[in-house]
Structure 1
Amino acid sequence: MKYLLIFLVVLVIFIISVTLGAHNDQVITFNYLLAQGQFSISTLLASLFGVGFLLGWAICGLFWLRVRVSLANAQRKVKRMQAQIEQGSTTVTTTSSSAARE
């Protein structure tokens, strides 16, 4: 359900940007860092929306990857500690059994 809502929001934003771009066919001069170019507003709007969308997904993907790696490390530590606890309880049980026989 959550993914459906996200998809619908992105779809609505895309439809609005296409609608605005279709009604604005003026050519403007766009100054970017290295040069400048003349683009129609619709082309500029669509390309900047796409770049922003991809950049947002890349940043979110990096954060997600960082969290997944951290989770994997934590799970590995938990398994290692559980093995140490089980090994320690086995040693304690064996030692207490030996002491009880004497």
Structure 2
Amino acid sequence: MKSFIITVLVALFFFLALIFGARNEQVVTISYFIAQGEFRLPIVLAVVFLAGFLISWIFAMYHIAKLKLALRTLNKKISSLRAKQTIPLQCRK
């Protein structure tokens, strides 16, 4: 449910950026290291927003995968320690 809400919020921000860009039909000049180009503002906003979203998503997926791997490793250690243990765990009162 949480991921659905986040996806809807991202889609809403993207939609708002497109509306803002559609109302501003100005041509902006973007200077690269070597060249220079002129683009419409809605295109620039959409590309920059999507690039930032994708870069953030890649970093988030990397950290989530790293945490899941650490959790899996620790769960295996716990299960191996429980298997070695001769006295069963008692319920806490």
TM over 0.5: yes
Higher Cα radius of gyration: 1
Count of residues in correspondence between the two structures: 87
Per-residue CA deviation, residues 66-98 of structure 1 (Å, 9 max, x unaligned), is 100000110111111112213xx5xxxxxxxxx
Deviation at 1:39, TM superposition (A): 1.2
Name the CA distance, whole Å, in 1 between partners of 2:10 and 2:40: 23
Structure with the greater relative contact order (CA < 8 A, sep ≥ 6): 1 or 2? 2
Deviation at 1:4, TM superposition (A): 3.3
Structure 2 runs not aligned, ≥5 long: 88-93
Q: Identify the residue that residue 83 of structure 1 maps to in structure 2.
A: 83
Kindly report the root-mean-square deviation, in angstroms, between the aligned alpha carbons of the 2 structures: 1.7
What percent of counterpart residues are identical?
A: 30
Show structure 1 runs of 4+ deviating over 3 A. 32-35
More helix by share: 1
Deviation at 1:33, TM superposition (A): 4.3
TM-score (norm 1): 0.75
Structure 1 runs not aligned, ≥5 long: 90-102
